[in-house]
Chains A and B, each alone.
Chain A
Amino acid sequence: MANVLEVKELTKQYSKVLAADKVSFTVGEGEIFALIGPNGAGKTTTIRMISTLLTPTAGDAIIAGHSVVKEPAKVRECITYLPDEAGAYKNMTGLKYLRFMAGLFISDIDALNAAVDRAKEICGLGERLEDKIGSYSRGMIRKLLLARAVMTRPKLAILDEPTSGLDVLNAIEIRKMIKKLAEEEKMSFLLSSHNMLEIEFVSDRVGIITGGHLMVTGGAAELKERYGANNLEEVFERVVNENEIR
């Protein structure tokens, strides 16, 4: 499996805080990689560096052969990013929003229409896409944004807390959608989440980050075995506690 993302000792130093310290991992084609960690562990900083929003202090990340440091514009053509608790333009209709976002990635009108059609199908919002986003529920907005994130078939979709704030049924639907896209379309995903159940269900591999350090990476089953834990939550607890003792 070829790597879509190679993170090499990615580091971010703010004035007094080392938010990410030599973080390294890879994500293969069609793989779902989940970055988990407590609040303030450095997940969002790492994700923002990979999304080219923040400039790394040191290290690099290569996405589909392009460096986030040297070729951020090329990287942005290969990725999509869905921030945690992101909103959308409330005065736009859902359909207009999809067309606007597709237009930022695609210039060819036929390809653009195809991407929008795909998003319409994925989000399942039907006629509600003709309504203004301001009238959508949180779940509807999240589905719209997720459809937006995958409609252009990016090499890597980066989703920060993809199901945060959603009810159980909506969350299940979105998890299934992510899994299906990875399996059927070989789309790669980099996720971050606090929900261990979700991570265990959806991800192929997990990276636990705490205090800016990526402590371990591996499959959920592998990590449970390594730490003699019954579930990923226990693994997470042990890894974080070990880091605090250090």
Chain B
Amino acid sequence: MKFVNLLKKELSELVNLQMILSLIVAFGIFMLLGNIMDTTIDEAKEETTNVTIRLSDRDDTGYTKKLIGGIEASGNTVKLYETSGDDYAAILSDNDIKDMIIIPEGFTEDIKSGKKPKVLSVSRMTSAATMSNLNVGNTSGLDLIEDYIKSDLAVNKGLTDAEYLLFDEPLSVVENTVVDDKSAAVSPSSIMSKIAIQNAMLPIIVFMLIMMTSQMLMSAIANEKTDKTLETLLSTPVSRGSVIGAKMLAAAVIALINAGVYMLGFTMFVSGATDDISSAAESVIGEMVSVDEAIKQLGLSLSGFDYVLVGLQLFFTIMICLSVSLVLGALVNDTKNNQTMVMPIMLMAIIPYAISILADINSLPPVLRCIVYAIPFTHTFSAIPNLMFGNRAIFFAGLIYQMIVFAVCMFFALRLFMSDRIFTIRLNFGQKSKYKAKQRREAKK
């Protein structure tokens, strides 16, 4: 009953209008980003599947007319524009288009005289965003012009169609990806593009979870200490274990709610993108098997038990975070100090987070790998890759290591809270002499 009372109080301290609003805003942002991503990818797909080539034929010869007719005959849409001069910005603006291929005067003559002909490709760049600068029209148009000229030259040189095709594409590559002892007829890049977006989710959620949990618990303890409500609370007929337990549970519950909302939002943001991109990639690359099927064949898909293991590791990550935050929160002198005290946890989270994005931790040099794995949160960031690629020994070693770290941190946190030091311990960076003098005065008082 008393514990429930304490828990309700901790929850009511943490759940406030600000927190609810920030959750709604975060969810809204993910939804908005999801929609933007969806629209952009749809536009890109539309542009890839229905290519319109914008051409200006300044040479205007029988050869160029045949060339344009050939492009149209292969099922492409060609829009012709009358242009002159070299003010390309004005040409694009006047015609309200973002790209154009210009066949200059002398193009046919160059081909006939055996010279390399020139074509001009004009594209408007509107931003640094990748998606906004997709220029399928010009790329496809130039490929088609090149193909037409190559084929025309081949015919003139007396090559048959079969000889020309062999000349044009002398290799037929069948890509295979091997993971451990399993293989699938799929390119590694297709697998990577699928799992990279999926696996990007967990590190972000873990990172946010670690930061939010620690910040919440540290603030809760620091505020209690600075307002002296902790003294009042610990002099009531409740055990110190209940006080700590209620604080830890409330912080964990709120962090999980936050993580759930962020995860849901992020899933909505990512799922549309991955489905669209992978289906588009499959159709373009023409893989032997679908990417999803290949992931299963290679043993890269996680089982229900694997997800339970990931959840277990996430649980111990939060528990380590909470126990360390208990100690750090107790060291805080004032609320300003609170932001500095979160630094150790932030570093412990950001180092493995950054490494897990940039490199495979298991392929780091041994000494560096040991240092990185000594950070308890590293095991959470590497959990899914380790389970996916069959590094189960490393996963379980990490899980056991996290349990030990949690037991040690909790032992020290409980010792601190059960002892007098909870009222006397504090850190004061750069004010050692003043701090010691104050501590002596307080101790005497």
Contacts and interface: CB of A to CB of B under 8 A. Distances in A.
Interface of A: 14, 16-17, 19, 39-45, 48, 51-55, 73, 76-77, 79-92, 96, 100-101, 103-105, 107, 145, 158, 211-212
B65 interface: no
A220 to B, nearest CB: 23
Nearest to A211: B444
A73 B239 contact: yes
Contacts of B236: 76, 80, 101, 104-105
B236 to A, nearest CB: 4
A104 B228 contact: no
A157 to B, nearest CB: 11
The A contact surface, by secondary structure, is loop
B213 to A, nearest CB: 20
5 contacts: A19-B444, A40-B445, A41-B445, A89-B13, A92-B12
B423 A48 contact: yes
A88 B445 contact: no
Given A41-B444, A81-B235, A105-B237, A14 B12 contact: no
Given A42-B444, A87-B227, A89-B229, A80 B9 contact: no
Contacts of A158: 235
Contacts of B16: 91
Contacts of A89: 9, 13, 227, 229
The B contact surface, by secondary structure, is helix
Contacts of B1: 103, 107
Nearest to A97: B9
Contacts of B60: none
B2 interface: yes
Contact of A53 (B5, B234, B441): B234
Contacts of B238: 76, 104
Contacts, number: 102
Nearest to B5: A103
A91 B12 contact: yes
Given A40-B445, A85-B228, A88-B227, 6 more contacts: A17-B444, A41-B445, A48-B231, A73-B239, A76-B237, A145-B232
Contacts of B2: 103-104, 107
A143 B358 CA distance: 58
A239 to B, nearest CB: 17
Contact of B235 (A14, A19, A52, A55): A52
Given A19-B445, A40-B444, A91-B12, A104 B234 contact: no
Contacts of A77: 237
A83 B423 CA distance: 12
Contacts of B227: 86-90
Contact of A19 (B8, B228, B443): B443
Given A73-B237, A92-B12, A100-B5, A55 B420 contact: yes
Contacts of B424: 14
B445 A54 contact: no
Given A89-B13, A103-B5, A104-B5, A82 B423 contact: no
A32 B363 CA distance: 72
Nearest to B236: A104
Interface string B408-445: 00000000000110011000000000000000111111
B235 A87 contact: no
A53 B229 contact: no
Report, nearest first, the 3 A-B pairs whose CB atoms are least far apart: A87-B227, A40-B444, A81-B235
A82 B235 CA distance: 9
Nearest to A46: B445
A86 B441 contact: no
Contacts of A81: 231-232, 235
Given A103-B2, A104-B2, A76 B232 contact: no
Interface string B12-56: 110010000000000000000000000000000000000000000
